Amino acid sequence: MSQNIEIINRRKENIETISPLLSALRTISLSNWRSSLNREINLKSYINQLEGAYKIVKENANINHPYNISRKKILYIIGTNRGLCGNFNKNIHNLFIQENLFKHDKLEIILIGKRLSRVFKQANLLFSNSLDFPDIKNIQDFATPLSSSAATNFQHASISVLYNKYIGASKYTTTLQRIYPREDINLVERDINSGGFIVDTDPQQLMRTIEFISFNSRLQLCLLSSLASESSVRFSIMENAGRNVDDMINELKIIIQDHRRGKITTETQELAVSSGLLNSNK
């Protein structure tokens, strides 16, 4: 029995070393979760102002801006660099297969996330390029060169993002969303009066600039939403793992304490017998 208790005690000590790691991962996940949501709120407000400016330019210039998206198609697929987030990357892979995106010959696929790249390689799925998911403080710098590269194809491209869209704590929906061109902008309902503005820049150049900035912002928005989803899921997993570790430690402590109490009781009885206070059962 003493040998078993030693094993149990070592097991408890090993599990106790895991607890600080889970706590650190939980704290990091919570920080990324909150930061990404706060940045997402600010970015949505900025995008709303951009679309208002787009409305002003378009109405003052009276430009019909048709899109030709028949040639090139670009797809950004956003996953994670790290694990410990359930089926996060697998769900993206599953939607990619369900939508038959692997059958599009002219589709340029750019993967974002080490783990996601590994999933696609294991499934023998082809892609054009793979990038690491940036730290939250570098998301803007990360999105800018991607946007600049895609901007050369604006007149003849359709640009979409496949990612896990944040919808609540530990909840997300795997989404295929087109971010350029944007046909769902309701310019009529924008609460902006364009009559008091004078556009003294070339309207077409100004609209292209706004489109680029809007596209860059929407790409950042998808990255932030994906990061919020990932961090939220990882926080929940670490929270549950932390509770399970605490429960296991408490259970092992009870076993060790019961053994100690039994050992103390036995030693006390032996002392009482040796001093003549109790009769030996033997």
pLDDT digits (tens, 9 = 90+) for 185-225: 554 444 555 456 666 777 788 888 888 899 999 999 999 99
User: What integer best gives the mean pLDDT of the chain?
Assistant: 85
Q: In what order do the strands lie in the sheet with 171-180?
A: 129-131, 107-112, 72-78, 157-168, 171-180
Structure tokens at 53: 């400016």
| Model pLDDT, residue 174 | 97
Please state, in angstroms and rounded to a whole number, the distance separating the CA atoms of residues 108 and 163.
16
Query: Which ranges constitute the DSSP H helices of the chain?
Result: 2-61, 88-98, 114-122, 139-151, 203-274
The amino acid present at 197, given as its one-letter code, is F
Positions in the chain whose pLDDT score sits under 50: 69, 187-190, 194
Is 172 exposed, middle or buried, given 0-12, 13-18 or 19+ CB atoms closer than 10 A?
A: buried
User: Could you tell me if 74 and 108 are in contact, meaning their C-beta atoms sit under 8 angstroms apart?
Assistant: yes
User: Could you tell me if 233 and 85 are in contact, meaning their C-beta atoms sit under 8 angstroms apart?
Assistant: yes
| Model pLDDT, residue 103 | 80
Q: Tokens 């996953």 correspond to what residue?
A: 79
| Model pLDDT, residue 155 | 59
Q: Distance between the two ends of the chain, CA-based, in angstroms? A: 22
Cα dist. 142→98, 110, 236 in Å?
29, 13, 27
Peptide bond into 145 cis (omega under 30): no
Please state, in angstroms and rounded to a whole number, the distance separating the CA atoms of residues 41 and 224.
10
